[in-house]
């Protein structure tokens, strides 16, 4: 991502999120920048650069926000399943 202007980065991040339906955290990991920077790029800067693209990425972010409680519940479920498996293995 080095060498890109902030505007180019905002567009690249938005296109990535739209194509992959990734979260802000996932995009931050992918691009090696903070969640705050990703969020500012796609929610503020992009409105001034490319409004239609900003509206598309907003749909994905809203969908991810609506689903986050489900992902959190699944992560917790997997955590406790894993802990239960470890406990079972120790008994054997």
Structure tokens belonging to residue 81? 């399943």
Please report which confidence band the pLDDT of residue 23 belongs to, taking 50, 70 and 90 as the band edges: very high
φ/ψ of 31, rounded to 5, equals -95, -5
Number of neighbours of residue 11 by Cβ within 10 angstroms: 21
Question: Could you tell me if 11 and 46 are in contact, meaning their C-beta atoms sit under 8 angstroms apart?
Answer: yes
Q: For the segment 31-68, what is each residue's pLDDT rounded down to a tens digit?
A: 999 999 999 999 999 999 999 999 999 999 999 888 87
> What global pTM score does this model have?
0.74
Report domain extents, the chain: 6-67
Please state, in angstroms and as integers, the Cα–Cα distance from residue 29 to each residue in 18, 33, 80, 82, following that order: 16, 7, 26, 25
């Amino acid at each position: 991502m080095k060498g890109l202007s902030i505007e180019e980065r905002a567009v690249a991040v938005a296109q990535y999120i739209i194509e992959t339906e990734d979260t802000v955290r996932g995009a931050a990991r992918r691009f090696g920048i903070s969640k705050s920077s990703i969020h500012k790029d796609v929610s503020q800067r992009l409105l001034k650069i490319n409004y239609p693209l900003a509206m598309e990425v907003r749909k994905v972010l809203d969908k991810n926000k609506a689903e986050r409680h489900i992902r959190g519940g699944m992560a917790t479920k997997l955590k406790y399943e894993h802990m239960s498996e470890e406990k079972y293995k120790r008994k054997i």
